[in-house]
Chains A and B, each alone.
Chain A
């Protein structure tokens, strides 16, 4: 086996372990919400994105329009666009158009973070290894959660329900602690989200649109008040 490929696989293991626990919770939640385990696995295998998948569940169950689904996914996953722009400059000559088309499928927050933190340029063998283990972890975790989630005792299920949110907090809080603009954006977005949840009238709006409105408003205010100096810097 190629050394670069092996290195990618090795670097993907911690990501895969994190994904395993979070996707377990996703699989369990999806089946609890009325999907079959196979449907949950199909979502994970074709999307590979935690926040987008979690947001999709109430839309599916509630029979939302495909338009709302598309717009929700677009907003939630818009960050991948920025990451792609940034990562594009780090790819070496082995990453032609075909390789880019393949790697694009797995450009998640964590894979992006690990790839970006490598010294110098990264090539296809390393990136293929780096996408393989997390993909397996994400899909396998969903399968296990979807199948075993329903037979687990209620107290275990409710304890696991918080896993995904724990991961979200682990993503947003360290940069929020370091950077005031991010702190302000998160605080504003959370405040808006609470308004949409508790204020009569506003709480009639469906979950996908609430996320879109809160995120676009908070990020716009952040961009106006705290314009970034360089691409990717906050």
Chain B
């Protein structure tokens, strides 16, 4: 990608992300009063990650079958509360194993 097209994007990303992190820690030191806003902010991360994960994860390996193997593995381990690293690595290994099996078939 050309640098002239790239720079505005990365600048906007970095500035927006930094401001979101910085303002509550520096400027707004009072607690939020609105119960709706509090609740909304509590749920936003889960809603964002849910929408980003599905259906995209099914296309992340280039083959629906191997992706399904990875997703099932990740869901089981994550549901049991395994660490980020464990779940991510196990999902990759499950995809690799599924690829191996498909090659043998």
Contacts and interface: CB of A to CB of B under 8 A. Distances in A.
B53 A170 contact: no
A144 interface: no
B14 A218 contact: no
Q: Counting chain A CB atoms within 10 Å of each CB, which of B12, B13, B89, B95 scores highest?
A: B13
A228 B38 contact: yes
Nearest to B61: A158
Interface residues of A, number: 105
Interface in A8-24: 14, 17-18, 21-22
A65 to B, nearest CB: 10
Interface residues of B, number: 76
A116 interface: no
Contact of A51 (B40, B52, B90, B95): B52
B51 A167 contact: no
B18 to A, nearest CB: 6
A158 B40 contact: no
A122 interface: no
Contacts of A168: 49, 52-53
B55 to A, nearest CB: 5
B104 interface: no
A35 interface: yes
Contacts of B105: none
A190 B37 CA distance: 22
Interface in A156-209: 156, 158-177, 181-182, 185-190, 192-194, 197-198
26 contacts: A34-B1, A73-B12, A80-B17, A158-B95, A159-B92, A159-B93, A159-B99, A160-B92, A162-B74, A166-B88, A167-B84, A169-B71, A169-B74, A169-B91, A170-B88, A172-B45, A172-B50, A177-B79, A185-B46, A193-B50, A218-B51, A222-B39, A222-B47, A223-B37, A228-B35, A232-B38
Interface of A: 14, 17-18, 21-22, 34-36, 39, 42-43, 46-49, 51-56, 59-61, 63, 66, 69-70, 73-82, 84-85, 87-88, 91, 97, 100-101, 103-105, 107, 109-110, 155-156, 158-177, 181-182, 185-190, 192-194, 197-198, 210-211, 214-216, 218-220, 222-224, 226-228, 231-234
